[in-house]
Amino acid sequence: MLNDDAPEPRSGDAGGLTGRIASGPDPLLRAEVLEPQLRFEIEALLPGYVQLEKVLLLEYRRLGLLDGAQVGAIATLLDQVTPASIAEEAGESMSDMAFTLERYVSRRLAEVPPAWHVDRSRNDLQATAQLMYGRARLLDSAEALLAFGRTAHRLAGRSADLPMPGYTHMQPAQVISPGFYFAGVCDQVLHTLERLEAVYRTAGASPMGAGAMAGQELPWDRARMARLLGFPHVRTHALRAVAQRDWALEACAEFSMLGVALSRFATDLMTWGGAGCGFVDLPDHWSGISSAMPQKKNFPVLERIRARTAHLSAAYTDIAIGQRNTPYSNSVEVSKEANAGVPAAFDTLASVLRLFGAVLENLRFREDRMRDACSAEYLGGFTLANLLTLRAGVPWRTAQVVAGRYIVRAVERGLPPAEPDGPLLEALLAKEGHRTGDAVALLTEAMGLPGGLTAKRSDGSAHPDAVRALLAEQGCAFDEVAERWQARRTGVAEAAAALDRLLAGPEGRQ
């Protein structure tokens, strides 16, 4: 069935592919549009296209349109396809992946089966190949997110007992710990991983068999084809299957939202690393210098991370605007141009997570600076108001007013939080008709540094025990999520192996 001496068609001739036009694409069109697209598809989509052709072979065999020998000959040639061989053929096939594969096989067959590629369209073929690529990138993205989340988890576990100031409205507010803060990073990562599972469900609906837009004229078993491609279900409506790229839009939306959160985390690290705080440091090989000011040690990697998160939002905007106001059908505008930035979005996310993960691995806390900052601020004002209400029976709003007045007077007198002025507090309470009986003890408990963390009692709080309990739950959640994503990856690989076994068995070549 193989023929290595088949005549070559003329370069640029479209007559072997269609009777509608007589010549191939203009050189400018090739250079600006078709060849860059083909290079991407050879690099990223070729394995998917080959797998799709194999599934089609099994369907033609099931429909009785190809016999075992024909299936075997074509499958053998598909197994021989390489990026280099496709690139060589592309110039004579309008630089189109589907046409190139078809021509590659046809030229090497002694006789092309008449029914091969009957009732077929490029529309659902392209949509499915792109989806298979997206599915693989989503699996990789989930793996990268898990790695980043576990890095943040380890850092949180090492720092749950270290007091540091927490800020609201850019002002010191309450005592927290790095462990508490980075447990929040873990929670964000788990949230994104959960939402990506929904994106993956969207990517689990196979467009294959939808045809050009209105369905196929042969009774294709779309559910069987989906299973052989590793998809759990079918995108049932033929038009929607080829008109929409939901998976790409949803993935970029999730990346954009994650990027917003990561940019805020990076901003905090930039603040903590600045001279005004000096709470964190990075080793020299993750730092930079000033060309003019020798005293400076900069952390430009954080600037890079924060800036790159903007590209994630830009990618979502790009694909949304690229699809917006287009007719609801398959088009190059939607299937290729609108999706042009999607691979870069996956690449950018991977880069951001690698860089941010490396920063967290190398981050060092300057415990003395964090403690000094906590000790210098009246971060126990909220605790003092609570104690006045719970211990001395002072109404809550009055307790707030008294606590605020005490802090103002203490600051005016230059008293640090560690030096409680019991008579001052009692005098302020007396004006409101109240007394404590032991103002110094209340102030010591409220303003003391250890109490800033242990005063919290609720689940999910900054109390070290609460942080450790939350981290234990998150550790289990990371394990469960990892198992689910690994099962998805395994399912895709098993489907590919099953496809090859079917081709080699009675349903295929034999």
As a whole number, mean pLDDT of residues 29-41 equals 87
What is the pTM (predicted TM-score) of this model? Answer: 0.91
CB within 8 A of 119, min separation 6: which ones? 211, 216, 217, 218, 220
Of residues 93 and 381, more confidently modeled: 381
DSSP annotation of 171 reads: E
Question: Quick check: 19 pLDDT over 70?
Answer: no
Query: Residues 426-479: pLDDT tens digits?
Result: 999 999 999 988 999 999 999 987 778 888 889 999 999 999 999 999 999 999
CA 138 vs CA 31, 32, 183, 194, 250: distances in Å: 30, 29, 24, 12, 11
Q: What is the pLDDT of residue 451?
A: 76
Which segments of the chain belong to CATH 1.20.200.10? Answer: 124-161+190-363+470-494
Q: What is the pLDDT of residue 25?
A: 82
Which pLDDT band, with edges at 50, 70 and 90, does 16 fall under? low
Q: What is the pLDDT of residue 2?
A: 42
Question: Quick check: 71 pLDDT over 90?
Answer: yes
Q: What is the pLDDT of residue 58?
A: 95
DSSP annotation of 10 reads: P
- Contact status, residue 337 vs residue 378, Cβ threshold 8 Å: no
Q: What is the pLDDT of residue 290?
A: 66
Cα torsion for 46, 49, 53, 58, to the nearest 10°? 110
State the architecture of 124-161+190-363+470-494 in CATH terms. Up-down Bundle (1.20)
φ and ψ at residue 168, rounded to 5 degrees: -130, 140
- Contact status, residue 352 vs residue 313, Cβ threshold 8 Å: no
CB within 8 A of 85, min separation 6: which ones? 104
Cα–Cα distance for residue pair 36/290, rounded to 1 Å: 40
Query: Residues 287-302: pLDDT tens digits?
Result: 776 677 776 678 889 9
Question: Quick check: 391 pLDDT over 50?
Answer: yes
Q: What is the pLDDT of residue 432?
A: 92
**482 burial type by CB count under 10 A (0-12 exposed, 13-18 middle, 19+ buried):** middle
Q: What is the pLDDT of residue 21?
A: 63
Report the percentage of the chain scoring pLDDT > 70. Answer: 94
Which pLDDT band, with edges at 50, 70 and 90, does 29 fall under? confident
φ and ψ at residue 234, rounded to 5 degrees: -110, 145
Q: What is the pLDDT of residue 12?
A: 47
Question: Quick check: 6 pLDDT over 50?
Answer: no
Signed CA dihedral, 124, 129, 135, 138: sign only: negative
Secondary structure element (H or E) that encloses residue 419, with its range: none
With CA atoms as reference, report the closest residue to 365 among 152, 162, 150.
162
- Contact status, residue 478 vs residue 152, Cβ threshold 8 Å: no
With CA atoms as reference, report the closest residue to 261 among 201, 181, 322.
181
Query: Residues 476-492: pLDDT tens digits?
Result: 999 999 999 999 999 99
Cα–Cα distance for residue pair 275/353, rounded to 1 Å: 26
Question: Quick check: 260 pLDDT over 70?
Answer: yes
Of residues 295 and 367, more confidently modeled: 367
Helix (H, G, I), strand (E, B) or coil at 233: strand
- Strand extents, DSSP E, 336-397: 364-365
- Contact status, residue 328 vs residue 285, Cβ threshold 8 Å: no
Which pLDDT band, with edges at 50, 70 and 90, does 14 fall under? low
- Contact status, residue 313 vs residue 259, Cβ threshold 8 Å: yes
Which pLDDT band, with edges at 50, 70 and 90, does 8 fall under? very low
